[in-house]
Amino acid sequence: MTIKDAPEEWRVTATSTPFRGNKTSVRTDDVVMPDGTVVSRDYQVHPGSVAILALDDAGRVLVLRQYRHPVRQKLWEIPAGLLDVPGENPLHAAQRELYEEAHVKAEDWRVLTDVYTTPGGCDEAVRIFLARGLSEAEGERFEVSEEEADMELARVETAELVRGVLAGELHNNCLAVGVLALTAALAGDGIESLRPAEAPWPARPFES
């Protein structure tokens, strides 16, 4: 048996959007179950995101600390951002986010992994990139505001981040998945075996 996710879509008999926000909305679908019953499913509709595990030549990961109001915590995270433009190339979005949040550019980009963050209640898909060959970006720093105005930046050894994830001290989804995926890649077939940065992404198809 092949362990692989597969597309499937159960019949929807009715749909509504009881809430529309600035970036996301909430949708209610009436879905036909395999036994013929119809149930309502509420979920957040999300444009998708990109995240960047930026690894420097010393083996340290670029992380940032930011306040997240829904969980009432300051979380250590890796740079990330929304796919604001429908059909946007996720690599271009990732390069933009790395510049805006860390004023850094990278020479080598690969797909580290693709995930659904909370598939039971949200359709958000995230592509996590591995970026290497880091250097400071040219020009003025991007002007930040709101939560990002209080953001802290650091470079931390991968092993220390893995320790923090397993100890229950670091909780950001993309950071946890990213550093564990990197560790697995290094222990397995190596970084060169990772998918190219422009690899297809069925969850969020994009233009080249």
Nearest to 47 by CA among 206, 177, 207, 198: 206
Which ranges constitute the DSSP H helices of 10-139?
A: 90-102
Q: Are residues 25 and 56 in the same domain?
A: no
Q: Crossing angle, helix 173-187 and helix 158-166, to 10 degrees?
A: 120
Rounded to whole angstroms, the Cα distance separating 48 from 26 reads 14
pTM: 0.93
Neighbours of 189 (CB within 10 A): 10
Residue 197 DSSP one-character state: T
3-state secondary structure of 116: strand
Q: State the CATH number of the domain containing residue 189.
A: 3.90.79.10
Domain count, the chain: 2
Note down the domain range covering 30.
12-45
Number of residues that this document lists for the chain: 208
The residues annotated as belonging to the active site are: 148
Q: Are residues 159 and 73 in the same domain?
A: yes
pLDDT of residue 146: 56
**Cβ atoms of 29 and 10 closer than 8 Å:** no
Residue 35 domain flag: yes
First to last CA, the chain: 34
Element housing 16 (H / E): strand 12-20
Residue 91 domain flag: yes
Q: Are residues 64 and 37 in the same domain?
A: no
Residue 111 domain flag: yes
Residue 87 domain flag: yes
Rounded to whole angstroms, the Cα distance separating 159 from 141 reads 30
pLDDT of residue 142: 58
Beta strand pairing call for 38-45 and 25-32: antiparallel
pLDDT by position in tens, the chain (length 208)? 889 999 999 999 999 999 999 999 999 999 999 999 999 999 999 999 999 999 999 999 999 999 999 999 999 999 999 998 888 899 999 999 999 999 999 999 999 999 999 999 999 999 999 999 999 988 776 565 556 668 899 999 999 999 999 999 999 999 999 999 999 999 999 999 999 999 999 999 987 7
Retrieve residue 134's tokens: 């880091």
